[in-house]
A and B are shown apart, each in its own frame.
Chain A
Amino acid sequence: MAVIARPRGAVREQVADRFATEKRLAGLNILVAFLALAIGGLMGVLQVLEYNGIDLYRAVKPVLPGGYYQGLTLHGVLNVLVFTTFYIIGFLTLIAAMSFDRPLASGRLAWVTFWLMLAGLLVAAVPILLNRATVLFTFYPPLKADGFYYLGLTLVVASTWLLLVNLALTYRAWRAANPGAKIPLAAFMSIITMTMWTIATFGIATEMLFLLIPWAFGLVPGTDVILARTLFWFTGHPIVYFWLLPAYISWYTMVPRLAGGRLFSEPMARVAFVLFLVLSVPIGIHHQYTDPGISEIWKLVHFIFTVGVFFPSLLTFFNVVASLENSGRARGGKGWLAWIFALPWNEPAFTTQVFAMLLFAFGGAGGVINASYNLNLVVHNTAWISGHFHLTVGSAVALTFMGITYWLVPLITGRALWSRGLALAQAWLWLIGMVTFSHFMHMLGLLGMPRRTMIGAAPYIQPEWQALLPFTLVGGLLMFASAICYYLNMLMTITRGRPEPDQEVPFSRAVSGPEDVPAALDRFTPWVVTALLLVAINYGPTLYYLVSTGRFNITGLSPW
């Protein structure tokens, strides 16, 4: 990445300090994120060992009294709720500010956001660690966890809204200083991401505040299960775009630069993001195709809209690959495909993220199958689904986030990456490990193996499953090795890295840039209104039906 020489002395101090708050916050958020991922990832290793008859839960009983399912709760909560959310908030805090080229409107609000999220995490962590919330990260009632589990998670989610407030204030100040200018792309995308997420969290916030928290603390005797599930998936589907869009921001606005070229089309990138804002939320019922109590018609409508999201995903695929081609040719690459070899495969931040894209291509194709209404009956709640989201959130998102840290941690700490070789080894190990793991998980799913189940202890384990399970162990251990490379490299970078101050975010320029962006793609209000309207149309009748026929009398239990 480019290191820009700056004059020494007072001027440099002033420049370096401008984003000091954002850098510290990004660093702390990402630290929390990767500590969570370390514990969550270790739980995954225990699970894949158990699949293969090596039960280590007895050995770790003092720290994990709830065994497999408590570990599985940690695996889900830490990896897909804590790791993602903290990383995203930290990453967007920094890059939105740097993209606007001005600090966030309120540094104090940014700190409050972080401390509230951390408080929420600690409040939720206690019941999980005490085995009083072994309800997995989906916490479907009437499985009943300790009330503080719900309270803590709600606090984490609600605190993230403060980043949207901060971004909106920053945007207003930026607009006043830059009338007529186009919003910088990464800032535009960050605001779209946080807006979509804030609309999406209406579901989970309502479920928590009106159903689960009063019920878990004994203020009301029961709850309505299908309504709670529907509210959960109102947020539960768009949450995957909340994870994915920051990775897309990196692929669109930074990877082309890391590759040595330019983004192919900024207008097309904005079209994709605007469509994600509009289409991410009103499709959550596609997670409930097999649920009773929801009309087949609305399941079908949500299916059609879900396939609609495939469109911006295909646009992204094209734009990102076209940008890579632009980079390959800029580096002297020739031919129909030979330009691929001209790309900087020895650059860890680049290679890691391209591997993430590659894995996501398969994850996306599998996702179309999951979303396809009756086709979902074949794979719903089988190991196929676990295979699927290890390609999506476990690779497209997690591997991209790791790849970003190969330039971001040096930027935050002012220290160069300790070992590029180790970083490249990490990327290759993850790629090979994940291809192995997820391929065989998909196959096991097609053979009917259920997900989220202690398969090694299941009396009904099938011989054809046992023939494939060892491959999941091989994949899992390769990813474990990848993680060790990653954490060692980061630890050494932070403590021993060669000082390398004044690095900048590798924002890309575009072949077709801001000058080609029409006004409609530089505004938020019309798209937010469209999004809300679609949500009202696609969810209104179902939610009205469930609330008006709800009986709120399912008392629940904690059978673990």
Chain B
Amino acid sequence: MKHEKYMGYLFEVAWILPSVAIPISVIVAVLITAFAVGIRVPDIAGRIEPKAIAATEPFDEPGLRELAPGKYEAAMVAQVFMFTPNEIEVPVGSEVTFVLTSRDVIHGFKIVGTPVNMMVVPGQISKMRFTFTRPGEYLIVCHEYCGGGHHAMSGKVIVR
């Protein structure tokens, strides 16, 4: 009985060490990708009055604008069940900052094949940046249930 318990403690300690080491290595790995590689999640980007979207920059003129050579801002408005605009086209190598808000309910904004993935919330501005290094057609899906036509809500980024 005594021996059984002693062996038990040894096994416990042998297990506790990796149980601490594994979570810590997960944390370190994520911190490196976030701050050394720069893959970040959306931060606070400001509030907006949903009724005044049409009068608030940059959503007064939704669409693509060039900020500097190779750098663009894509301002898009989400509403049931569409994005405005629902298609943008940029050259390969462009760094695009997606700026979105919603006119009505919560929508989702995911560009398939990229880490661009945000919630689009009425009253809030969502912002994420991504550099398109490969040409192609990227599907944008609304991935948050927004009503009866949710599955029809999509868009496209064309990279040439």
Residues on A lying within 8 angstroms of B by beta carbon are 66-67, 69, 72, 134, 136, 140, 142-143, 224-226, 229, 264-265, 268, 288-296, 299-300, 303-304, 307-308, 310-311, 314-315, 318, 322, 368, 372-378, 380-382, 447-448, 450-455, 457-460, 462, 511-512, 516, 549, 551, 553-554, 556-560
Contact = CB atoms under 8 A, between A and B. Distances in A.
Interface string B105-148: 11010101101111111111111000000000001011111111
B22 A314 contact: yes
Contacts of B22: 310, 314
Contacts of A460: 139, 141, 154
Contacts of B47: 293, 549, 551
B88 interface: no
B146 A559 contact: yes
Contacts of A136: 145
A299 B41 contact: yes
A551 B123 contact: yes
Nearest to A378: B115
A295 B39 contact: no
Which of the four size classes fits the interface of chain B?
Answer: 35 or more
Contact of A374 (B39, B80, B145): B39
Nearest to B43: A296
Interface in B66-106: 80-81, 104-106
B145 A142 contact: no
24 contacts: A142-B105, A289-B42, A293-B44, A293-B45, A293-B47, A310-B23, A315-B19, A372-B26, A372-B30, A374-B115, A375-B33, A377-B41, A380-B143, A381-B144, A382-B143, A448-B139, A450-B142, A453-B145, A454-B151, A459-B154, A462-B112, A512-B5, A554-B50, A559-B104
Contact of A295 (B43, B110, B144, B145): B43
B83 to A, nearest CB: 12
Contacts of B4: 511
Contacts of A291: 42, 118-119, 121
A468 to B, nearest CB: 15
Contacts of A140: 105-106, 144
A303 B30 contact: yes
A314 to B, nearest CB: 4
A450 B121 contact: no
Contacts of A554: 50, 122-123
A265 B8 contact: yes
A373 B41 contact: yes
Given A291-B119, A373-B30, 12 more contacts: A143-B106, A290-B119, A293-B121, A311-B19, A318-B12, A318-B19, A378-B115, A448-B110, A453-B150, A554-B123, A557-B105, A557-B147
Contacts of B44: 292-296
A136 B113 CA distance: 27
B43 to A, nearest CB: 4
A153 B126 CA distance: 31
A374 B108 CA distance: 17
Contacts of A558: 147
A518 B124 CA distance: 50
A292 B105 contact: no
A451 B145 CA distance: 9
B108 A377 contact: no
Contacts of A303: 27, 30
Given A142-B104, A374-B115, A314 B146 contact: no
A265 B118 contact: no
B30 A375 contact: yes
The 9 lowest CB-CB distance pairs between A and B, nearest first, are: A559-B147, A448-B112, A450-B143, A314-B19, A381-B143, A292-B124, A377-B115, A458-B151, A292-B126
Given A291-B121, A457-B151, A511-B5, A448 B141 contact: yes
Among A140, A290, A308, the most chain B Cβ lie within 10 Å of the Cβ of A290
A311 B150 contact: no
Contacts of B123: 224-226, 551, 553-554
